[in-house]
Chain A
Amino acid sequence: MSADFLYGIEVIINGLMAGVLYALVALGFVLIFKASGIFNFAQGVMALFAALTLVGIMEGQVPFAHLINAVFGTSIHHFGWQVPAILAIFLTVLVMIAFAWAVQHFVFRHLVGQEPIILFMATIGLAYFLEGVGDLMWGSSIRTLALGLPQGGSIWVEEMTNGLGGDDFYGFFIDKLDMVATLVALVLVAGLVAFAQYTKQGCAMRAVADDHQAALSVGISLSYIWVLVWSLAGIVALVAGVMWGAKSGVQFSLSLIALKALPVLMLGGFTSIPGAIVGGMIIGVGEKLFEYTIGAPYLGGATENWFAYMLALVFLVFRPQGLFGERIIERV
């Protein structure tokens, strides 16, 4: 096999893993949309906020330090302690649950029954709000996430695949972190699907996703389910934030990943958990392949900025409901 072809395979494998990470963010969208019909634009910022909170807790930062210093003229920054990773993760999950409750109680409880466009714009407002709060709480400089996750290329894989392509080929370069992320994501998806199918709450969640009124009439508490769903989305956001953060540092661009999740949802449909995974992988592979074969050689590179959206756009024109979504039959 030629080295070029093998490099192409490497691009595909890396694309699949990038796709899994996209899918992680898309999962959060699907959860909330399924249960409440809200398209949560703030999902990406939630990932950023969760990661920031995790780092902040671990490093013993004082929340809102900057603001407190400005108002009271003090000069505090850190508590002086370090929190172990497991405890920090647990505390961050609590914060995300509190956030879910607050969002439900102060915002979306009052927007029940509004048109989808209004709900969507509310989540854009929420995204800005959360971004500002995150900056106020933990500051806006780039942070590194030191969770002890394996980093760097996997020597093992490189050595195993060295012989495949002759002298020009040095073995597949697969990042260990990507492998861990893929594993985590698959476990998470399996867990979520099991939760939705087999637990009482999961069943209630699916009922709410189908029909609010009907769910209410059998005694399901909408606000409980919504807090639950936003909490789950928050946990998914935490995982996504950790994975992406470990790759490239915890910074604002993390929230832009959310925008990338949109084409994933276009392809996979807004309401399908497996669809989010498949959509993510198609986008991940598609992006990298396009850049490798056409973008870098002929178009000057950096096509990953827009290719996913164009792909989704073209796809939508032919199949407006995505791969897994339900066909929209309009009635008059």
Chain B
Amino acid sequence: MLYREAGDFKTSYKADSQTFPIAFDRWRYWAVLVIAFCVVPFFVNAYWANAILVPFLIYAIAAIGLNILTGYCGQVSLGTGGFMAVGAYACYKLMTSFPDVSIVIHIILAGGITAAVGAAFGLPSLRIKGFYLAVATLAAQFFLVWMFNKVSWFYNYSASGQINAPERFVAGIAVTGPNTAPWAQYMICLVFLTICALIARNLTRGTIGRSWMAIRDMDIAAEIIGVNPLKAKLTAFAVSSFFIGISGALFFAVYLGAVEVGEAFGIQKSFLVLFMIIIGGLGSLFGSFAGAAFLVLLPVALKVIGVDLLGWPTDLVAHLQLVIVGALIMFFLIKEPHGLAQLWRLAKEKLRLWPFPY
């Protein structure tokens, strides 16, 4: 009975096109924001931050980025890991070359650099479509990982090939380095996620968002009615890579502190983010959140049940995780190709009518 839109008539186009037309949804949205910003920081501990919240926030940014490219614009990309690496290494080089500039600036710049790299690797998308494009993005993935491994300038000629995030502060509070408090890690990621999500929401509901979806649905017709495919696709690659670069920079600087490119940003990462948007829902912002949450929570849940509760060895649980994730992917694609987001939408539709059946 709470979830109603009867009697709620919009009197302007502006009101009609808002994100949450139903009042209950708006209240829920603000409540989530208040809890996220004002309540959680006081209760979060190291375990929760490191195992669940911080990776969720960071992967959500990456998922939003990939969803823009693959879900909204229909360009399949298997290069997410490589682009995250670009963000991480760009951030590292900036941090070590300009130690007096704020890390926030560095992260944004790292996103910008990744956007440029992403647009460059997106150029082939004008000639190549579908799977062929997926393979082209694999070229990006393998080449970038190889490059960050081989060219020692990127890791400042260190012997180990690893990059380490130096300690940095925002408003006097440590956000990177070993002394960072969990709530500070959480907060900086949350702020970035909120801003990225807002930008993504604005872009997908406007002209450029419609151009992307038009290309996804029928690219020839899109071009005939006036979409410039070069501009639209490259913009998708650039915007998507911007977000993915930011997530890579945060992943390195705030979450891990030190990375080796092969294990942190390999092809497995690309698949992981792709699975997030498949399970979450292609072409849906909510789906990016849902998918990221799901795939961050699943291994934690499995570990808690399998290792802690049942006492099974960890490698067995790891194998089971592969089986479950793979089975879930296939299940979602068969039953609900639009992912958790669609399930959520259907649930809301039912709720709008409740307690009536139709």
Contact = CB atoms under 8 A, between A and B. Distances in A.
| A–B touching in complex (CB under 8 Å) | yes
Interface of A: 39, 66-67, 70, 107, 110-111, 114, 116-118, 120-122, 124-133, 135-136, 140, 256, 259, 262-263, 265-266, 270, 299-300, 302-303, 305-306, 309-310, 312-313, 316-317, 320, 330, 332
A127 B132 contact: no
Interface stretch (B44-52, B167-175, B239-247, B311-319): B311-319
A66 B129 CA distance: 43
B37 interface: no
Given A309-B139, A320-B132, 5 more contacts: A66-B313, A70-B316, A125-B325, A136-B316, A316-B124
Contacts, number: 138
Interface of B: 74, 76, 124, 127-132, 134-136, 138-139, 142-143, 145-146, 149-150, 220-221, 224, 267, 271, 274-275, 278, 310-313, 315-316, 319-330, 333-334, 337
Contacts of B146: 302-303, 305-306
Contacts of A120: 76, 131, 134
Given A70-B313, A117-B76, A309 B337 contact: no
B135 A309 contact: yes
Contacts of B139: 306, 309-310, 312-313
Contacts of A306: 139, 142-143, 146
B135 A312 contact: yes
A70 B334 contact: no
A114 B337 CA distance: 10
Given A263-B135, A317-B128, A131 B322 contact: yes
17 contacts: A39-B131, A70-B313, A124-B275, A125-B327, A126-B326, A129-B322, A132-B324, A132-B326, A136-B323, A140-B319, A259-B267, A309-B136, A309-B143, A312-B135, A317-B124, A330-B220, A332-B221
Nearest to A45: B326
A313 B326 contact: no
A332 B221 CA distance: 8
A225 B149 CA distance: 46
Contact of B333 (A111, A299, A305): A111
Contacts of A305: 142, 145-146
B124 A125 contact: no
Contacts of B124: 313, 316-317
Contacts of A66: 313, 316, 319
A259 B150 CA distance: 21
A140 B302 CA distance: 19
B331 to A, nearest CB: 8
A125 B138 contact: no
Contact of A317 (B76, B127, B321): B127
A192 B290 CA distance: 45
A309 B322 contact: no
A125 B135 CA distance: 17
Contact of B127 (A118, A126, A316): A316
A89 B327 CA distance: 28
A66 B323 CA distance: 15
Nearest to B74: A117
* 9 tightest Cβ-Cβ pairs between the two chains A and B: A129-B326, A125-B329, A132-B322, A128-B326, A309-B139, A132-B323, A306-B142, A135-B319, A306-B143
Given A39-B131, A320-B127, A118 B143 contact: no
A252 to B, nearest CB: 11
Among B127, B146, B315, B325, the most chain A Cβ lie within 10 Å of the Cβ of B146
Given A129-B323, A135-B322, A116 B130 contact: yes
Contacts of B278: 121
Contacts of B310: 70
Contact of B135 (A122, A262, A332): A262
Contact of A131 (B127, B136, B315, B326): B326
Contacts of A131: 322, 326
Nearest to A115: B337
Nearest to A299: B150
B194 to A, nearest CB: 29
Contacts of A39: 131
Contact of B330 (A107, A114, A317, A330): A107
B134 to A, nearest CB: 7
A266 B74 CA distance: 20
A118 B337 contact: yes
Contact of A125 (B129, B221, B316, B330): B330
A129 B333 contact: no
Contacts of A256: 267
A130 B326 contact: yes
Contacts of A127: 326
A135 B315 CA distance: 9
A124 B325 CA distance: 10
A303 B139 CA distance: 12
B325 A128 contact: yes
A36 to B, nearest CB: 14
A111 B124 CA distance: 29
B130 A117 contact: yes
A187 B324 CA distance: 38
B312 A70 contact: yes
Contacts of A140: 315, 319
A94 B322 CA distance: 24
A313 B329 contact: no
Contacts of B323: 128-129, 132-133, 136
A263 B142 CA distance: 13
